[in-house]
Every structure is written in structure tokens, then in C-alpha cells.
Amino acid sequence: MIEKFELLERKVLRKSNILTYCDDLYRFPDGKEEVYDIMLHNGASAVVPVLEDGRILMVHQYRPAVERVTTEIPAGKRDEGEAFDTAAARELEEETGYRAGRLEHLITINTAIAYCSEKIEVYAAFDLQKHEQHLDDDEYVEFEAYDIEDLVNMIYEGKIMDSKTIASLMAYYNKYRLT
């Protein structure tokens, strides 16, 4: 069984509004030491919003890191001390204008375990009521409803490549649609 490594020193290299970049010095059980590049993240929430007719609301937005418009589930970072389900409900309303009558926890995702602490709690949202979209100043988001079978096909066709979206849609499909 692998023993826990000992964190000897954390050197913060840079803090941004989302990430803290660190060099972490660890000691292995055999006494050797190594520096790891680590990004610390406060966590995020995501939601699979299910309309009354069973279609899923998806957001389209430009992502500079991959230089293209993506199709994703609504998601966003959690504010300091904010509950994950509260963040999920907030992000759903901000990005789509819908409020959930009911949220059910679906899965927990660690997005990049080799170098980042980000954890995303994903919820399925039901009993949606239309309100107003409240985008952040830097968000340009459109949304559209899809059948889950079409979304699964889009995953296999390479049209949806976002890992949280893929994991969440497949978890939803397996939990609620495969019966």
C-alpha cells in the first residue's frame, strides 16, 4: 500500500482570482524529496438542467484556452464558503435564467488530479422555472435544449469535449435514462 507523502513546504508563486499556483516540496516514504507544480482551486459546481419534456439545457460559450465555442453544462466556481448546491443553483440561473425546484447530487469530479485540486460537485436540476439570465460582465453565453441521446452522440462525435460535461451527461444518462 502506498504511504502518504509528507508536504514539507508550499511556495506560493502566484494567486489569481481562480487559482493559486504553488511549488510543493514533498518527502516520499523512502526519504526522497520532489517538487510538484500544483494549482489550488476553491471548487466549483455544475448542473445538468432537465426540462419538463426531458431535454437538457446546454450552454454555448467561447473558451479562450481551446480557442473555440464549446457546448457545456452550466457551471462555475464556488464563492469562498459557499455551499456547492447553492453555487449550482446560482450558476444555473446566471447562465440560463432557470431556477431549479429540485437539485439532486449526481457525481463528484476532480478535474485534473495530477496538478490541480479543483473539485466539481455536479447536480441534476429538475422542476425548472424560467426567470432571467444574469450573466457576469465577462460572460457571453447562449443556451439550447437537447435530447440526452443527441448529447451522447455529440460526445462520441467529438462535438462535446469538455470533461466535466462528458462525465456529467454520461452519469445522468446512466442514472436516469438507462432503465
d(CA 43, CA 19): 10
> Is residue 17 left, alpha or beta, with left meaning phi > 0 and alpha meaning psi from -120 to 50?
alpha
Q: What is the pLDDT of residue 3?
A: 81
Q: Which three cell numbers stand for residue 8?
A: 514539507
Q: By C-alpha distance, which of 125, 127, 107, 89 is closest to 171?
A: 107
Q: What is the pLDDT of residue 119?
A: 96
Q: What is the pLDDT of residue 178?
A: 63
Q: What is the pLDDT of residue 87?
A: 97
Q: Which three cell numbers stand for residue 5?
A: 507523502
Q: What is the pLDDT of residue 177?
A: 75
Q: What is the pLDDT of residue 168?
A: 98
Neighbours of 37 (CB within 10 A): 12
Could you list the pLDDT tens digit for every one of the 179 residues in the chain? 788 899 999 999 999 988 999 999 999 999 999 999 999 999 999 999 999 999 999 999 999 999 999 999 999 999 989 999 999 999 999 999 999 999 999 999 999 999 999 999 999 999 999 987 776 677 788 999 999 999 999 999 999 999 999 999 999 999 987 65
Global pTM value:
0.90
65 — phi, psi (to 5°)? Answer: -60, -30
Domains for the chain: give ranges and CATH numbers. Answer: 6-41 (no CATH), 44-177 (3.90.79.10)
Q: What is the pLDDT of residue 4?
A: 84
- Look at residue 149 and give its three-state secondary structure: helix
Q: 100: exposed, middle or buried (C-beta count within 10 Å: 0-12, 13-18, 19+)?
A: buried
Query: Residue 120 pairs with which residues in a beta bridge?
Result: 44, 109
Q: What is the pLDDT of residue 2?
A: 80
